[in-house]
Structure 1
Amino acid sequence: MTSPRTAVAPALSSLEGRQGWGVAATGLAVLCMVLSGFNRNIFFGLTPGLALALVLLPLWASQLRSSRWVAWTTVLAVVSVAWGAWLTIWHADTRGVSTAGTLEASFVVLALACGVGAALWARSRTSNAVVGAAFGVGLVLGINPASETFAENPWRFGFSLPVTVLVLAIVSRFRRRWLDVVAALALAGVSALNGGRSSSAILLMVALLVVWQSWGRPASSRLAALRTLLLFGLLALGTYLSVQAAILEGALGESAQMRTELQLSTSGTLITGGRPEIGATLALMAEAPAGFGGGSIPSMADLLVAKSGMAALGYDPNNGYVENYMFGSGFELHSVIGDLWAWCGIPGLVLSVVLLVFLVVRTAVLTTGRAASALILFLGVKSVWNLLFAPLESALTVLVLAVALMAPVLGAAGRADQ
């Protein structure tokens, strides 16, 4: 490796001193990050992090102007909330309405905008490493040992994400590439031993990208960024095929091997076999392109359309999962894109596309400039995965952190930092 140090996305310069109010404000910002990571529901989707962010709105609202990406994300989030409420009213003649569902969907989408704004404020008062570590501490505090999934696999359904964010945040403080690589590979190994297929593949890809940044010089041209995007695609495909082969050989344990074989036999690919909700999302989009609203209760016709889409992938939808989890009290399509579209209609879909483009572009730009730590790469790649394959509510914390730490921000001279 030609360089022992890893650059990070630059923190914003603080204009206030660190005495008196400055120290108190910094403490509030860090506390807000801990509570944002904690992400426990206290009232129909309202979390402690969102509640504190709303109280501190006058302190961080100006940060939204520091990045065009963040400004557009905030505008789209607000429009999406209003549009989702209108959609719920519009569909009230043909579907039941849940006030709790409307509130929860609204709070979750608002948590995205408010969380990013508060995290940008925290970033302006401290370092990316501290912001990431504070989120990680909140994630650790939010682990629920009483849940059924935790008892089934404590690492996968409890410690994996919190420990990964916390460790990579701490390691990023030292700006040493070899530490990033060691940490990412160690975490990938632990995830693999505990049957975490996607998490181990993401961390392996992160380690490879950190190593790749050690060769060559930083570049900022669009052509260089396009080449990096091509590299991402090849690495993703190679990692996917390699991990799949390793799983089928039993390298990740018998349980992971059996799940993978079953999913491959179901639909022919690991992705559609493991995420049959894709079929439901596409079928519903074709049937009702405008969306439904966060407070709309699915009708029997919606349920049948979704089941037909899942059956087309070879999945048997008549097992209770579709009725109870996906459509028991609202629309839950198990992807950020699907949830935002179902809850908020076209504005929600536009918001999800903007987020996807942002994550891909910024990951490419920071990697091309040799400025992406393992923490930044993990947040970027993990958030792209979540946009496609994870529910919005569970993906929200990592997504907020990714947008806030990866956003280009205007410095004192009015120039956007890379």
Structure 2
Amino acid sequence: MTSTRVVPVPVLPSREGQGGWAVVTTGLAVLCVVLTGMRWDLSFGLTAGLALALVLLPLWAPWVHSSRWVTWIAVLAGVGAAWSVWLTVWHSSSRTVFTVGLLESVFLVLGLACGIGAAIWARSRTSVWAVGAAFGVGLLLGVNPSGEMFAENPWRFGFSLPVTVIVLAVAARWRSRWVDVIAVLALAGGSVVSGGRSTTAILLMVALLVLWQAWGKPASSGLAALRTVILFGTLAFGTYFALQAAILDGALGESAQDRTELQLATSGTLITGGRPEIGATVALMGSSPGGFGGGTVPSMADVLVAKSGMAALGYEPNNGYVENYLFGSGFELHSVIGDLWAWCGIPGLALAVVLLAFFVARTAVLTTGRAASALLLFLGVKSVWNLLFAPLESALTVFILAVALMAPLVRQVRQAAP
């Protein structure tokens, strides 16, 4: 017969036992979280947050082993970074190498592992809502008001994510579903006014999931979690079609309506019309399944393969966006899955799969147990969206915060009973 013994993660000494050192380390942990959210670039993709995390490695490294999920993510990130270098060297005989691009890809992937470890360490010293709020402050400090997209729509391309994280983190402090719902709906209203289609859909879905937790009792079985995953899928499809209809009726403004009509006319669906990079990713995976490396510059043959995949979706790929942004100095496929595969090959693709499994599984488990705040639900749903439709560079901060706050920090160890 067997029994289950819960082995907790390492417990920190009491504040009374550590005195001033506890205050110092807590301050360093929070500072590292703020800098990680800020993404202040020092050189070649090395950010201040990553630099400080590397300096503090001995303090947060033990927490990587606090969760099997985090351990696998960290291992795959390390292997992926090394594989990016190897792939770049492998392809250097047939393609141009861009050293800066290689450094940036390596720092991005390592930044994921180090950022998660440091944020979990901060979570152990403070609380989930405090780490979320500190990270949100970092995101806010990192807003670039001189950016071209910011000038076009400051809320959508600047303040939306930082304010959302800060507001939902503060709301989580109250542990009230109604506070969560009011905060989410207020933020969704801001996204509607600014024409943010995906953010509006994500926030509406989060509001529905928060309300759904008010019914029924907490459950922990695998079957209950599977039912919750099915619920996620149903809500996602329902929200998608309902919001699409509302946009076409002008609910999010004329600009969003025009963009939606054009994308539907291009390929028949809003997703493929809005993200034709999917076609490029599939085509490149078919031609070079092993990936390319973070420092590899696409050859003309690679660009032609990618363009053919985009053209198959009804998109006209002969433009500056494709030639300069997507393939000008490296591979940028506008999805985390695509970027990790192109830069890090099979290990990168495995990392993306593990991340997807983590976000779906943990969101389902937390929701089934009626323990998911609006902050955690937003981070989980947003991360799944980013895996499919956002570049790794812009999605990195959300991934770090989501994994750090959603990861279970205890292990169930089965052993024979005496």
State whether TM-score is above 0.5.
yes
- The answer to whether structure 1 residue 221 and structure 2 residue 197 are counterparts is no
TM-score w.r.t. the length of structure 2 is 0.95
Alpha-carbon offset, residue 351 of structure 1: 0.4
Counterpart of 1:17 in structure 2 is: 15
Distance 1:11 1:84 in 2: 32
Counterpart of 1:402 in structure 2 is: 402
Distance 1:331 1:198 in 2: 24
Counterpart of 2:79 in structure 1 is: 79
Counterpart of 1:110 in structure 2 is: 110
Distance 2:64 2:122 in 1: 12
Alpha-carbon offset, residue 99 of structure 1: 1.0
Alignment of 1:238-277 (within 5 A): 238-277=238-277
Alignment of 1:192-211 (within 5 A): 192-211=192-211
Counterpart of 2:128 in structure 1 is: 128
Alpha-carbon offset, residue 373 of structure 1: 0.2
Distance 1:88 1:412 in 2: 40
Task: Please tell me the residue identity of whatever aligns with 1:391.
Answer: P
Q: What residue ranges of structure 1 are gaps of 5+ in the alignment?
A: 1-9
Distance 2:281 2:9 in 1: 38
Alpha-carbon offset, residue 13 of structure 1: 5.7
How many residue pairs get aligned? The number is 406
Distance 2:87 2:43 in 1: 22
Distance 1:201 1:225 in 2: 23
Residue 210 to residue 295, structure 1, CA distance change in 2 (3 Å)? same
Note the alpha carbon deviations across 1:43-63, whole angstroms, 9 max, x for none: 111111101100100100000
Task: Please tell me the residue identity of whatever aligns with 1:17.
Answer: R
Counterpart of 1:370 in structure 2 is: 370
Counterpart of 2:165 in structure 1 is: 165
Distance 1:23 1:99 in 2: 41
Counterpart of 1:339 in structure 2 is: 339
Alpha-carbon offset, residue 17 of structure 1: 1.1
Residue 128 to residue 14, structure 1, CA distance change in 2 (3 Å)? farther
Q: Indicate the SS of the match to 2:251.
A: coil
Counterpart of 2:119 in structure 1 is: 119
* Contact map agreement 1:129 1:173 (CA 8 A) in 2: yes
Q: Indicate the SS of the match to 1:321.
A: helix
Q: Which moved more, 1:162-171 or 1:11-20?
A: 11-20
Q: Which moved more, 1:36-45 or 1:149-158?
A: 36-45
Counterpart of 1:42 in structure 2 is: 42
Distance 1:11 1:232 in 2: 30
Alpha-carbon offset, residue 16 of structure 1: 3.7
Distance 1:281 1:233 in 2: 24
Task: Please tell me the residue identity of whatever aligns with 2:155.
Answer: W
Counterpart of 1:186 in structure 2 is: 186
Distance 2:311 2:182 in 1: 42
Task: Please tell me the residue identity of whatever aligns with 1:140.
Answer: L
* Contact map agreement 1:37 1:139 (CA 8 A) in 2: yes
Task: Please tell me the residue identity of whatever aligns with 1:196.
Answer: G
Note the alpha carbon deviations across 1:86-132, whole angstroms, 9 max, x for none: 00000011100111111110000000000000011001101000000
Residue 271 to residue 12, structure 1, CA distance change in 2 (3 Å)? farther
Distance 2:303 2:53 in 1: 37
TM-score w.r.t. the length of structure 1 is 0.95
Task: Please tell me the residue identity of whatever aligns with 2:210.
Answer: V
Q: Indicate the SS of the match to 1:385.
A: helix
Residue 176 to residue 308, structure 1, CA distance change in 2 (3 Å)? same
Distance 2:315 2:194 in 1: 26
Distance 1:194 1:97 in 2: 40
Distance 2:307 2:329 in 1: 16
Alpha-carbon offset, residue 12 of structure 1: 8.6
Note the alpha carbon deviations across 1:304-343, whole angstroms, 9 max, x for none: 0000000000000111101110011100000000000000
Residue 65 to residue 48, structure 1, CA distance change in 2 (3 Å)? same
Task: Please tell me the residue identity of whatever aligns with 1:321.
Answer: Y
Alpha-carbon offset, residue 40 of structure 1: 2.5
Alpha-carbon offset, residue 412 of structure 1: 11
Distance 1:174 1:413 in 2: 33
* Contact map agreement 1:12 1:123 (CA 8 A) in 2: no
Counterpart of 2:95 in structure 1 is: 95
Distance 1:13 1:414 in 2: 21
Counterpart of 1:6 in structure 2 is: none
* Contact map agreement 2:224 2:368 (CA 8 A) in 1: yes
* Contact map agreement 1:11 1:123 (CA 8 A) in 2: no
Q: Indicate the SS of the match to 1:289.
A: coil
- The answer to whether structure 1 residue 351 and structure 2 residue 343 are counterparts is no
Distance 1:134 1:48 in 2: 15
Counterpart of 2:382 in structure 1 is: 382
Distance 1:95 1:55 in 2: 35
Note the alpha carbon deviations across 1:286-319, whole angstroms, 9 max, x for none: 0000000000000000000000000000000111
Counterpart of 1:5 in structure 2 is: none
* Contact map agreement 1:195 1:256 (CA 8 A) in 2: yes
Counterpart of 1:290 in structure 2 is: 290
Counterpart of 1:30 in structure 2 is: 30
Task: Please tell me the residue identity of whatever aligns with 2:15.
Answer: G
Q: Indicate the SS of the match to 1:159.
A: helix
Alignment of 1:290-329 (within 5 A): 290-329=290-329
Note the alpha carbon deviations across 1:196-252, whole angstroms, 9 max, x for none: 000010000000000000010000001100100010000000000110000000000
Counterpart of 2:232 in structure 1 is: 232
Q: Indicate the SS of the match to 1:42.
A: strand
Distance 1:292 1:387 in 2: 19
Alpha-carbon offset, residue 42 of structure 1: 1.9
Q: What residue ranges of structure 2 are gaps of 5+ in the alignment?
A: 1-7
Distance 2:9 2:410 in 1: 11
* Contact map agreement 1:297 1:331 (CA 8 A) in 2: yes
Counterpart of 1:147 in structure 2 is: 147
Identity %: 73
* Contact map agreement 2:332 2:391 (CA 8 A) in 1: yes
